[in-house]
Amino acid sequence: MNNRSEVLIPKVGVITDIRIDTPDVKTFRVVTPDGKKAFDHMPGQCAMLSIPAVGEAMFSITSSPTNTEYMEFSIKKCGCVTEWLHQAQVGQQITIRGPYGKPFPVKEVFEGKDLLFVAGGIGLAPLRSVINYCRHYRDKYGKIDIVYGSRSKEDLVDYAEIITEWMEEDGINVHLTIDREQECWDGHVGFVPNYVKELNFDTNKTVIICGPPIMIKFTLEGLMSLGYDKTQVYTTMELRMKCGVGKCGRCNIGSKYVCKDGPVFRCDELELLPSEY
Protein backbone atom coordinates (compact mmCIF):
# COMPACT_ATOMS: atom_id res chain seq x y z
CA MET A 1 0.00 0.00 0.00
CA ASN A 2 2.84 2.35 0.81
CA ASN A 3 3.86 2.35 -2.84
CA ARG A 4 0.68 4.28 -3.67
CA SER A 5 1.17 8.01 -3.37
CA GLU A 6 -1.33 9.88 -1.26
CA VAL A 7 -1.55 13.65 -1.21
CA LEU A 8 -3.46 13.73 2.06
CA ILE A 9 -0.47 12.31 3.95
CA PRO A 10 1.78 15.25 4.85
CA LYS A 11 5.50 15.64 5.45
CA VAL A 12 7.01 16.84 8.68
CA GLY A 13 8.18 20.45 8.73
CA VAL A 14 10.17 22.34 11.34
CA ILE A 15 9.67 25.96 12.29
CA THR A 16 13.18 27.40 12.22
CA ASP A 17 12.39 31.07 12.68
CA ILE A 18 9.48 33.16 13.89
CA ARG A 19 9.28 36.84 13.09
CA ILE A 20 6.71 39.07 14.78
CA ASP A 21 5.32 41.29 12.02
CA THR A 22 2.35 42.96 13.67
CA PRO A 23 0.40 42.49 16.91
CA ASP A 24 -1.51 39.62 15.25
CA VAL A 25 0.71 38.48 12.37
CA LYS A 26 3.81 36.33 12.63
CA THR A 27 5.96 34.98 9.81
CA PHE A 28 7.07 31.37 10.21
CA ARG A 29 10.07 29.92 8.41
CA VAL A 30 9.60 26.21 7.64
CA VAL A 31 11.99 23.51 6.39
CA THR A 32 11.99 19.71 6.51
CA PRO A 33 13.76 18.01 9.46
CA ASP A 34 16.88 17.59 7.27
CA GLY A 35 16.94 21.32 6.58
CA LYS A 36 15.55 21.39 3.03
CA LYS A 37 12.61 23.06 1.39
CA ALA A 38 9.56 20.81 1.68
CA PHE A 39 8.67 21.24 -2.01
CA ASP A 40 8.93 23.71 -4.88
CA HIS A 41 6.11 26.09 -5.66
CA MET A 42 5.18 29.07 -7.83
CA PRO A 43 3.99 32.47 -6.56
CA GLY A 44 0.38 32.36 -5.39
CA GLN A 45 0.34 28.66 -4.54
CA CYS A 46 -0.60 27.44 -1.08
CA ALA A 47 0.32 24.76 1.43
CA MET A 48 -1.65 22.84 4.02
CA LEU A 49 -0.09 23.19 7.44
CA SER A 50 -1.27 21.20 10.39
CA ILE A 51 -0.66 20.44 14.00
CA PRO A 52 -1.95 16.97 14.92
CA ALA A 53 -5.01 17.13 17.17
CA VAL A 54 -5.38 20.85 16.51
CA GLY A 55 -6.24 20.95 12.83
CA GLU A 56 -5.08 21.54 9.29
CA ALA A 57 -5.49 24.76 7.35
CA MET A 58 -4.49 26.24 4.00
CA PHE A 59 -1.98 29.11 3.89
CA SER A 60 -0.46 31.02 1.04
CA ILE A 61 3.28 30.63 0.71
CA THR A 62 4.65 34.13 1.22
CA SER A 63 8.27 33.41 0.33
CA SER A 64 9.35 33.52 -3.29
CA PRO A 65 10.07 30.28 -5.19
CA THR A 66 13.50 31.80 -5.84
CA ASN A 67 14.29 31.25 -2.20
CA THR A 68 15.78 27.77 -2.42
CA GLU A 69 16.45 27.32 1.28
CA TYR A 70 13.11 27.57 3.06
CA MET A 71 9.47 28.58 2.86
CA GLU A 72 7.78 31.34 4.78
CA PHE A 73 4.19 31.77 5.88
CA SER A 74 2.81 35.05 7.20
CA ILE A 75 -0.06 34.04 9.42
CA LYS A 76 -2.67 36.16 11.14
CA LYS A 77 -4.01 34.92 14.44
CA CYS A 78 -7.73 34.32 13.88
CA GLY A 79 -8.71 30.67 14.46
CA CYS A 80 -7.69 27.38 16.15
CA VAL A 81 -4.70 26.48 14.00
CA THR A 82 -3.38 30.03 13.75
CA GLU A 83 -3.70 30.65 17.49
CA TRP A 84 -1.78 27.48 18.17
CA LEU A 85 0.94 28.48 15.71
CA HIS A 86 1.23 31.90 17.32
CA GLN A 87 2.19 30.34 20.66
CA ALA A 88 4.64 27.87 19.05
CA GLN A 89 8.40 28.18 19.59
CA VAL A 90 11.29 27.77 17.18
CA GLY A 91 12.08 24.08 16.77
CA GLN A 92 8.42 23.09 16.80
CA GLN A 93 7.51 20.51 14.19
CA ILE A 94 4.34 20.79 12.15
CA THR A 95 3.10 18.94 9.08
CA ILE A 96 3.12 20.34 5.58
CA ARG A 97 1.70 19.26 2.22
CA GLY A 98 1.36 20.96 -1.13
CA PRO A 99 1.82 22.95 -3.26
CA TYR A 100 -1.82 23.56 -4.07
CA GLY A 101 -3.64 25.70 -6.60
CA LYS A 102 -2.96 27.60 -9.74
CA PRO A 103 -0.20 30.20 -9.35
CA PHE A 104 -0.17 33.76 -10.65
CA PRO A 105 0.77 33.71 -14.37
CA VAL A 106 4.16 35.28 -13.63
CA LYS A 107 5.72 33.98 -16.85
CA GLU A 108 2.80 33.65 -19.25
CA VAL A 109 1.16 37.00 -18.56
CA PHE A 110 3.17 39.20 -16.20
CA GLU A 111 6.49 39.11 -18.10
CA GLY A 112 7.21 42.34 -19.90
CA LYS A 113 4.39 44.19 -18.17
CA ASP A 114 4.28 47.09 -15.74
CA LEU A 115 2.85 45.66 -12.55
CA LEU A 116 0.65 47.26 -9.92
CA PHE A 117 0.29 45.38 -6.64
CA VAL A 118 -2.54 46.41 -4.34
CA ALA A 119 -2.69 44.85 -0.88
CA GLY A 120 -4.56 45.41 2.34
CA GLY A 121 -3.48 44.02 5.71
CA ILE A 122 -2.51 40.34 5.65
CA GLY A 123 -3.37 40.41 1.93
CA LEU A 124 0.26 41.28 1.33
CA ALA A 125 1.26 37.71 2.28
CA PRO A 126 0.46 36.02 -1.06
CA LEU A 127 1.62 39.05 -3.06
CA ARG A 128 5.02 39.15 -1.34
CA SER A 129 5.83 35.88 -3.11
CA VAL A 130 5.08 37.44 -6.51
CA ILE A 131 6.84 40.73 -5.70
CA ASN A 132 10.05 39.01 -4.63
CA TYR A 133 9.87 36.64 -7.61
CA CYS A 134 9.62 39.64 -9.97
CA ARG A 135 12.48 41.38 -8.12
CA HIS A 136 14.61 38.28 -8.60
CA TYR A 137 13.97 38.26 -12.36
CA ARG A 138 13.95 42.06 -12.48
CA ASP A 139 14.83 42.44 -16.23
CA LYS A 140 11.76 40.47 -17.24
CA TYR A 141 9.31 42.88 -15.66
CA GLY A 142 8.54 46.55 -16.21
CA LYS A 143 7.88 49.19 -13.63
CA ILE A 144 6.53 47.92 -10.33
CA ASP A 145 4.12 49.90 -8.17
CA ILE A 146 3.03 48.63 -4.79
CA VAL A 147 0.09 50.16 -2.93
CA TYR A 148 -0.11 48.70 0.54
CA GLY A 149 -2.37 49.76 3.36
CA SER A 150 -3.40 48.61 6.79
CA ARG A 151 -5.25 49.81 9.87
CA SER A 152 -2.14 51.33 11.46
CA LYS A 153 1.62 51.54 11.07
CA GLU A 154 2.01 48.56 13.41
CA ASP A 155 -0.28 46.46 11.21
CA LEU A 156 1.86 46.76 8.08
CA VAL A 157 3.23 43.25 7.48
CA ASP A 158 6.85 42.88 6.32
CA TYR A 159 7.43 46.54 7.07
CA ALA A 160 11.18 46.12 7.51
CA GLU A 161 11.59 44.41 4.14
CA ILE A 162 9.46 47.06 2.45
CA ILE A 163 11.56 49.92 3.87
CA THR A 164 15.02 48.40 3.56
CA GLU A 165 14.67 46.52 0.28
CA TRP A 166 11.63 47.32 -1.85
CA MET A 167 11.72 51.10 -1.36
CA GLU A 168 15.44 51.21 -2.10
CA GLU A 169 15.18 49.51 -5.46
CA ASP A 170 15.12 51.37 -8.77
CA GLY A 171 11.94 50.88 -10.75
CA ILE A 172 9.89 50.01 -7.69
CA ASN A 173 7.53 52.55 -6.19
CA VAL A 174 6.00 51.72 -2.84
CA HIS A 175 2.94 53.68 -1.76
CA LEU A 176 2.05 53.00 1.87
CA THR A 177 -1.11 54.14 3.58
CA ILE A 178 -2.76 53.66 6.94
CA ASP A 179 -6.43 54.04 7.80
CA ARG A 180 -6.09 56.78 10.47
CA GLU A 181 -3.66 59.55 11.44
CA GLN A 182 -0.95 58.33 13.76
CA GLU A 183 2.06 59.82 15.55
CA CYS A 184 5.40 59.21 13.82
CA TRP A 185 3.66 58.65 10.48
CA ASP A 186 4.22 61.20 7.78
CA GLY A 187 3.02 58.97 4.96
CA HIS A 188 -0.38 58.80 3.33
CA VAL A 189 -3.50 58.37 5.42
CA GLY A 190 -6.67 56.89 3.95
CA PHE A 191 -8.20 53.69 2.65
CA VAL A 192 -6.50 51.68 -0.10
CA PRO A 193 -9.25 52.03 -2.76
CA ASN A 194 -9.23 55.82 -2.51
CA TYR A 195 -5.45 55.94 -2.56
CA VAL A 196 -5.33 53.83 -5.72
CA LYS A 197 -7.68 56.29 -7.40
CA GLU A 198 -5.71 59.30 -6.16
CA LEU A 199 -2.49 57.85 -7.54
CA ASN A 200 -4.17 57.87 -10.97
CA PHE A 201 -2.05 55.11 -12.51
CA ASP A 202 -1.62 54.64 -16.27
CA THR A 203 -4.05 52.02 -17.46
CA ASN A 204 -1.36 49.92 -19.14
CA LYS A 205 -0.54 48.02 -15.94
CA THR A 206 -1.39 44.48 -14.91
CA VAL A 207 -2.89 44.58 -11.45
CA ILE A 208 -2.47 42.00 -8.72
CA ILE A 209 -4.72 42.58 -5.77
CA CYS A 210 -5.31 40.89 -2.43
CA GLY A 211 -6.97 41.99 0.78
CA PRO A 212 -10.31 42.02 2.56
CA PRO A 213 -13.23 41.40 0.13
CA ILE A 214 -14.57 44.92 0.70
CA MET A 215 -11.20 46.45 -0.20
CA ILE A 216 -11.01 44.35 -3.36
CA LYS A 217 -14.54 45.37 -4.34
CA PHE A 218 -13.96 49.12 -4.01
CA THR A 219 -10.45 49.00 -5.47
CA LEU A 220 -11.85 47.22 -8.52
CA GLU A 221 -14.50 49.91 -8.89
CA GLY A 222 -11.78 52.56 -8.62
CA LEU A 223 -9.63 50.83 -11.23
CA MET A 224 -12.59 50.56 -13.61
CA SER A 225 -13.23 54.30 -13.21
CA LEU A 226 -9.58 54.93 -14.11
CA GLY A 227 -10.21 53.00 -17.32
CA TYR A 228 -8.89 49.56 -16.39
CA ASP A 229 -10.45 46.39 -17.76
CA LYS A 230 -11.20 43.38 -15.54
CA THR A 231 -9.00 41.23 -17.75
CA GLN A 232 -6.01 43.21 -16.44
CA VAL A 233 -6.69 42.40 -12.81
CA TYR A 234 -5.73 39.24 -10.91
CA THR A 235 -6.68 38.32 -7.38
CA THR A 236 -6.41 35.37 -5.06
CA MET A 237 -9.28 33.88 -3.08
CA GLU A 238 -9.68 32.31 0.30
CA LEU A 239 -12.33 29.73 1.20
CA ARG A 240 -12.58 26.89 3.65
CA MET A 241 -10.59 23.91 2.40
CA LYS A 242 -9.95 20.43 3.70
CA CYS A 243 -8.40 18.29 0.97
CA GLY A 244 -6.71 20.88 -1.22
CA VAL A 245 -7.24 18.80 -4.36
CA GLY A 246 -10.84 19.43 -5.41
CA LYS A 247 -12.50 16.42 -3.80
CA CYS A 248 -13.86 17.32 -0.37
CA GLY A 249 -16.31 19.79 -1.89
CA ARG A 250 -15.81 22.62 0.57
CA CYS A 251 -14.38 25.34 -1.66
CA ASN A 252 -16.71 24.61 -4.57
CA ILE A 253 -18.10 27.79 -6.17
CA GLY A 254 -20.10 27.12 -9.31
CA SER A 255 -18.17 24.61 -11.38
CA LYS A 256 -14.83 25.70 -9.86
CA TYR A 257 -12.89 24.44 -6.90
CA VAL A 258 -10.90 27.30 -5.42
CA CYS A 259 -8.17 24.95 -4.16
CA LYS A 260 -7.32 23.61 -7.61
CA ASP A 261 -8.90 25.95 -10.18
CA GLY A 262 -7.83 28.95 -8.06
CA PRO A 263 -6.95 30.45 -5.69
CA VAL A 264 -5.67 32.86 -8.36
CA PHE A 265 -8.37 34.15 -10.68
CA ARG A 266 -8.52 36.89 -13.26
CA CYS A 267 -11.32 39.25 -12.28
CA ASP A 268 -13.36 38.65 -15.41
CA GLU A 269 -13.23 34.89 -14.70
CA LEU A 270 -14.47 35.57 -11.19
CA GLU A 271 -17.43 37.44 -12.57
CA LEU A 272 -18.64 34.29 -14.28
CA LEU A 273 -18.87 32.48 -10.96
CA PRO A 274 -21.97 32.67 -8.78
CA SER A 275 -21.56 35.48 -6.27
CA GLU A 276 -21.04 33.44 -3.14
CA TYR A 277 -17.40 33.97 -2.21
- Residues near other proteins, by CB under 8 A: 1-2, 4-12, 50, 52-56, 78-80, 82, 89, 91-95, 238-240, 242-243, 245-250, 252-255, 273-274, 276-277
For the chain, the maximum distance between any two Cα atoms, rounded to a whole number of angstroms, is 62
- State in angstroms the smallest separation of the CB of 256 from other proteins: 9
Q: State which residue, 48 or 116, has the beta carbon closest to other proteins.
A: 48
Nearer Cβ to other proteins (153/250): 250
Residue 258: closest CA among 269, 268, 221: 269
Rg (CA), the chain: 18
The least distance separating other proteins from the CB of residue 136, rounded to whole angstroms, comes to 29
Question: 75, 51 in Cβ contact below 8 A?
Answer: no
Distance in Å, CB of 95 to other proteins, minimum: 6
Cβ contacts of 133 within 8 Å, gap of 6 or more = 43, 64, 65, 66, 106
Q: Which is nearer to other proteins, 80 or 160 (CB)?
A: 80
Question: At its nearest, how many Å lie between other proteins and the CB of residue 122?
Answer: 10
Which neighbouring-strand residues pair with 75?
26
Kind plus residue range of the DSSP H or E element containing 198: helix 192-199
Residue placing its CB nearer to other proteins in the complex, 200 or 255: 255
How far is Cα 38 from Cα 63, in angstroms, rounded to an integer? Answer: 13
Q: Closer to other proteins at the Cβ: 4 or 186? A: 4
Buried/exposed 29-59: b ≥16 CB within 10 Å, e otherwise: bbbbeeeebbeebbbbbbbbbbbeeeebbbb
Supply the minimum distance, in Å, between the C-beta of residue 260 and other proteins: 10
